[in-house]
A and B are shown apart, each in its own frame.
Chain A
Amino acid sequence: MKRFGANTANDDVSLKVMPGEIHALLGENGAGKSTLVKILYGALQPNEGEILWKGQPVVIGSPAEARALGIGMVFQHFSLFEALTVAENIALALPKDADRRGLSATIARVSRDYGLPLDPTSRIADLSVGERQRVEIVRCLLQNPQLVIMDEPTSVLTPQEADQLFETLKRLASEGCAILYISHRLEEVRAICHHATIMRRAKVVAETDPTTETVGTLARLMVGNEVDAVTRTKGVPGAPRLTLAGLDMPALGAFGVPLRAIDLEVRAGEIVAIAGVAGNGQSELFDAVSGERTGRDGAVVIDGRPVGHQGVNERRRLGAAFVPEERLGHGAVPALKLSENVVLTRHGTGEGIASGGFTRFGLAGRIVEAVTKRFDVRKGPADPEARALSGGNLQKFVVGREVDRTPGVLVVAQPTWGVDAGAAAVIRQALIDLARSGSAVLVISQDLDEIFEIADRIAVISRGHLSVPKAAEAMTREEIGLLMAGGAEKR
């Protein structure tokens, strides 16, 4: 049991992982999965209860103690030094007295044995996200763990890379290693896990064999009630409202991605989705479309007007609206109230929120109320600071703030990133409804399930190149995967 302040994050949780088992830990955001995992990995101490390791009660005081016991963890966010090589990064993580001679050979052998090809001498900065994850996994395997905890490992992988990872996990399990597998993706849980523990509001609500469940029944266990299915009507696309023509943008910084001759048309009434693995130019594309970075005038056209070298507010005045991927610090200022965050993106739209140089926070407050009502934003006080909202509620607010304007063009990055199923359905429905009302909606997402749920046409971005968009019905996951892996560049 673990309490945080007034909130109990894990309440009387029991979990048993057997050797050779791939055990799924499922739950919405905030259900208490990460807390449980941090306790197992020694980063947090439970207030009550005990941990039995191979039948013996243990106290895991720190991650180092966890590793000494044989518990390894692969984090969702990598902790690698980009300027160092694979072998150097792994050497850094070894215990002080470990023998580092022959490390490169060991890395090469372990990575080959488990189907995780890696060159120990390559620099991290030159590796793809999937390869970086392999480094993390190999680093974990070198400590001969008996339990490996994996936190959403496939969220950054292409479908093909994910398949390769599953082979590795199956191989590990067959050797008697236990795997605790945390994921939001119910399909893959069904495909590879032997057992699933489902958490909801800090408690374990179900234990089940996922292979006997459907995605629908698993989702219901996680959310606690039937998730509203998104209703999708067929739209009739009209005239193009957002056009990108030969959009080029040089890379910003050493690890940025340059955009290369991107062509795209988003028509009234349709949702176009851009799929792709993180770090392939999505944020650069968003900045170029929103006007945070400007370029050649004709490269971006909104409702027939070239706006390529106009700023973000000029584009907003033409009816465009933007929702960036990063909610706190980009889409909203954490320490400012919601009403002030309304002013943030709507002061320059000619709605009278800023008139004569003065800001009208009263008007902004009424917009907060309208958005709160329409999108069911849950908050304590009427006008709290943005950082006081949970991730899902803040996302509803940030999307709602723009949808509330009924923009003619909406560009949204990762609309439901880290948002629970209920909130995700609300947001996706709002995007569909907006498009059907005659707006052009461009969604940049890494979530293929989401893309197939809402998109009319799909394109894939890979290393700054965009594939030719195709109708969603004509696209398969395999095809998208190939495009993600570089196919988008050869066209």
Chain B
Amino acid sequence: MHLELVKRPEVSRVMMVGSPVLAVGLTVIFAAIVFALQGKDPLAGVYYFFLEPLTSSWSIEQLIVKATPLVIIALGLAVCFLSNNWNIGAEGQLTVGAITGSMLPVLVPEFASPATLPLMVLMGALGGALFAAVPAILKTRFGTNEILTSLMLVYASGLFLDWLVRGPWRDPKGFNFPITIAFNDAAIPSTIPIGPLYLNLSAFVALVLVAVLAVTLGRTLKGFEIRVLGQSPRAGAFAGFSARRMTLFAFMVSGALAGIAGILTVASEIGKLQPVISPGYGFTAIIVAFLGRLNPVGILIAGLVIALSYLGGEAIQTTMQMSSKVATVVQGMLLFFVLACDTLILYRVRLVGRAPKEPARA
């Protein structure tokens, strides 16, 4: 007796929905096992990891704050990955977007008007897009590997930010701390009360972007072009699409979105620039993009799930004194089970008895 994977003739619509549910279920079960192996109460662990963050309005607000940049960046990465362009440098584009977007409140603090924040977002998008254009142009002009160049630029951008906040942009009244002056009020997104929750404007920006990307990818010729060139460059050329222009387009779109996420994170969460502005949103968003199957609505859900796993990881550390490594293990299991269960979309499992290998002899 053994199990066999049999390829389905068509993708299974049931499993498209069922596989992530199954994956979360398996993650919960195996997380409980891991908690028990740590000598902790597995049920309490599951409660604190997966449910406790959803019980107070404060932690739900935190969940949304963490999910927002992940979703915005992952939307852009989906455009890249769907078109077969491997942008691994969203973290760097986020950093550059945060820098260019901060130029207004840092260099011209006296400019405070309703137009300030929209202009900052625009400049953040522009900065991120131009920074992302570098690996795109290197790829189309010289055939360099965009995975390497976009990744290396992450470190370049981080060092540039470090230099800025320690040098020319340092707050002269900041007791020599490596920070810029605090943003003025016009540069900080307002919060909007929704029932018991106070939600940051950024969250609504993310929702609008999810809708825009969903329509673009599903219904427009541009979205069609993205999918065709990603799957079959030769057929794309036959359709009159240019893979080189698409590389530039996809990188600039994802760079712009990472830049928007960067400036929104800085403006709403920190209120100034400092050497470290992101806990690795640009890298985690790669996972979010794939967990969401490169689908905008899926990315929205995946962003919330990953944000939950961050909060849950903090919760089991503070309330149950488990190591932060345990949280990382659970996050890893979630990714593993999602990818493994995805197999069921294309294959079905069949239990087979021992097949007679020898042909019958007459």
Contacts and interface: CB of A to CB of B under 8 A. Distances in A.
Interface of A: 5, 45-46, 48-51, 57, 59, 290-292, 311-313, 316, 322, 324, 326, 329-336, 340, 343-345, 347-348, 354, 357-359, 381, 384-385, 388
A329 B222 contact: no
Contact of B362 (A50, A313, A381): A50
Interface stretch (B58-66, B86-94, B232-240, B298-306): B232-240
Given A347-B221, A359-B220, A312 B10 contact: no
A388 B10 CA distance: 8
A72 B26 CA distance: 51
Given A357-B220, A357-B222, A345 B231 contact: no
Q: Which 6 A-B pairs have the closest CB atoms?
A: A313-B240, A354-B221, A312-B240, A333-B232, A344-B239, A330-B234
A477 to B, nearest CB: 33
Interface in B346-362: 357-362
B6 interface: yes
Contacts of A313: 239-240
A345 B227 contact: no
A50 B359 CA distance: 6
A358 B359 contact: no
B220 to A, nearest CB: 5
Q: Which of B220, B240, B362 has the most CB of A within 10 A?
A: B240
Contacts of B359: 45-46, 48-51, 59
Given A5-B6, A385-B10, A388-B10, A330 B235 contact: yes
B143 interface: no
Given A313-B239, A313-B240, A345-B239, 7 more contacts: A5-B6, A57-B361, A329-B232, A340-B224, A348-B240, A359-B223, A384-B10
A51 B357 CA distance: 14
Interface string B180-224: 000000000000000000000000000000000000000111111
A340 B221 CA distance: 11
Nearest to B356: A47
A332 B219 contact: no
B238 A336 contact: no
Contact of A343 (B6, B224, B232, B237): B224
B308 interface: no
B9 interface: yes
A135 B194 CA distance: 76
Interface in B318-362: 357-362
Nearest to B228: A333
27 contacts: A46-B359, A48-B359, A49-B360, A50-B359, A50-B361, A291-B240, A292-B237, A311-B240, A326-B234, A329-B234, A330-B238, A331-B238, A334-B231, A334-B232, A335-B231, A340-B224, A343-B224, A344-B235, A344-B238, A347-B224, A354-B221, A357-B220, A357-B221, A357-B222, A358-B219, A359-B219, A359-B220
Given A50-B361, A335-B231, A359-B224, A292 B10 contact: no
B235 A329 contact: yes
A347 B227 CA distance: 15
Interface in B4-23: 6, 9-10
Contacts of A344: 228, 235, 238-239
Measured as residues with beta carbon below 8 angstroms from the partner, the interface class of chain B is: 20 to 34
A447 to B, nearest CB: 23
Q: Which of B6, B220, B237, B239 has the most CB of A within 10 A?
A: B239
Contacts of B362: 50, 57
A115 B220 CA distance: 60
Nearest to A341: B235
Contacts of B232: 329-330, 333-334
B303 to A, nearest CB: 26
Nearest to B216: A357
Contacts of A345: 238-239
Contacts of B234: 326, 329-330
Given A45-B357, A48-B360, A336 B239 contact: no
A326 to B, nearest CB: 7
A388 B221 contact: no
Contacts of A332: 235
Nearest to A384: B10
A311 B236 CA distance: 12
Nearest to B355: A47
A46 B355 CA distance: 12
A347 B219 CA distance: 13
Contact of B9 (A46, A57, A322, A388): A388
Interface in B230-287: 231-232, 234-235, 237-240
Contacts of A336: 227-228, 231
A331 B235 contact: yes
Contact of B239 (A334, A347, A357, A358): A347
Nearest to B235: A333
A59 B358 contact: yes
A312 B238 contact: yes
Nearest to A335: B231
A336 B221 CA distance: 14
A385 B232 CA distance: 14
A347 B234 CA distance: 17
A50 B361 CA distance: 7
A347 B241 CA distance: 11
B39 to A, nearest CB: 48
Q: Which of B6, B235, B237, B361 has the most CB of A within 10 A?
A: B235
B224 A292 contact: no
Contacts of B224: 340, 343, 347, 359
A116 to B, nearest CB: 35
A292 B9 CA distance: 33
Contacts of A57: 361-362
A45 B359 CA distance: 8
Contacts of B235: 329-333, 344
B191 to A, nearest CB: 35
A334 to B, nearest CB: 7
A399 to B, nearest CB: 14
Nearest to A287: B237
B231 A333 contact: yes
Q: Which of B227, B231, B238, B358 has the most CB of A within 10 A?
A: B238
Contacts of A381: 10
Contacts of B240: 291, 311-313, 316, 348
Q: Which of A45, A49, A344, A385 has the most CB of B within 10 A?
A: A344
B6 to A, nearest CB: 7
B248 to A, nearest CB: 17
B240 to A, nearest CB: 4
A381 B10 CA distance: 10
